[in-house]
Amino acid sequence: ILGAAVLLCMADVLHAFAIEEKGDVFRRTDCPAFLVFDSAAYLADMTFELPCKCKPEEVSEVVWYFQKEMGSHQTRVLTDLAGTVIVDSAHVQAGSDVLKRFSLRMFSLIVFRAQVTDSGHYICGTKKGEYFSGYDVDVQPTEHITVAFLDRGQHVQDDVQAKLFSLFTTFWDWTVCDRCGVRGEQRRIGLCYVQSNWLNPRYRTTLPNVTSCGSRAVPARLQHIGHLRQPEVAIRSCLTPCPK
């Protein structure tokens, strides 16, 4: 119950996302010879954006494909095949099918109120089956999220060390203080990450040999480790003067 209450207070964080200015990014970015997947992790109920990082200049419309597992015959098309789908985010319902929770803007795919079942591979391409860029998305659950009130002496989860891997939490920046002039609170979301020398090299990560726990880069024999650690939220008090 406590975790659910904390998540309700975090609604402004979970529903926020940034739309980047793309400019002439396609003129600066060449597509790789072989499709690789950039790893990305989010917390359930967040809204996230996946830019189509590269495409030939002559391509004016893109199609986004979703595959749960790489090479699966079950592929979903997240577009109207004309690249013009727009969704009013105010009317998006949590738990609805991903086909009702996405939008396309400037070739980017935006998924609203992500669910754990949205985890998988997202590929930007054309309706002819040309593929330009891909993402490995890991949406981590909130049902059993760990909450640590730092002012009460509570601590975030310890790292886990094993022979073939180590588990740890990667924290985002602290939110701004939720009140001014009186004592308020700040929150910091942390997602489960794994370090291992056995990650699939077809998945591109920010740090070598490090990816989120639910990533498809984690080999099959280690994919159970995602259940050994939960996402977490750290909470601390803050005092910020009100603007004059």
Helix, strand and coil content of the chain, in percent to the nearest 5, comes to: 15, 35, 50
For the stretch 97-105, contacts whose Cβ atoms lie closer than 8 Å and that sit 24 or more positions apart, written own/partner, are 98/66, 102/64, 102/78, 104/62, 104/64, 104/79, 105/19
Tell me if 54 sits within 8 A of 29, measured CB to CB. yes
CA 215, CA 213: separation in Å to the nearest integer? 6
Q: What is the pLDDT of residues 76-86, one digit of tens each?
A: 888 755 544 44
Q: What is the pLDDT of residues 204-225, one digit of tens each?
A: 999 999 999 999 999 989 988 8
Report if residue 153 sits inside a domain. yes
Q: What is the CATH number of the domain that holds 72?
A: 2.60.40.10
Length in residues, the chain: 244
Percent of the chain with pLDDT over 90: 52
Give the lowest-confidence range in 39-43, 66-70, 238-242: 66-70
CA 164, CA 159: separation in Å to the nearest integer? 14
Do 10 and 89 belong to one domain?
Answer: yes
Do 166 and 227 belong to one domain?
Answer: yes
- When pLDDT is cut at 50, 70 and 90, the band that residue 28 belongs to is low
Total domains in the fold of the chain: 2
Do 7 and 112 belong to one domain?
Answer: yes
Do 132 and 168 belong to one domain?
Answer: no
pLDDT of residue 23: 46
Tell me if 31 sits within 8 A of 133, measured CB to CB. yes
Give the lowest-confidence range in 10-14, 86-90, 103-107, 181-185: 86-90
Do 29 and 82 belong to one domain?
Answer: yes
Do 16 and 134 belong to one domain?
Answer: yes
Name the one residue in this structure whose structure tokens are 């002012």: 151
Do 124 and 151 belong to one domain?
Answer: no
What DSSP designation does 196 have?
Answer: -
Of 59, 230, 238, 44, the closest CA to residue 139 belongs to 44
pLDDT of residue 214: 94
Q: Output the pTM of the full model.
A: 0.80
Q: What is the pLDDT of residues 129-182, one digit of tens each?
A: 888 899 999 999 999 899 999 999 999 999 999 999 999 999 999 999 999 999
Q: Does residue 97 or residue 85 have the better pLDDT? A: 97
Do 72 and 120 belong to one domain?
Answer: yes
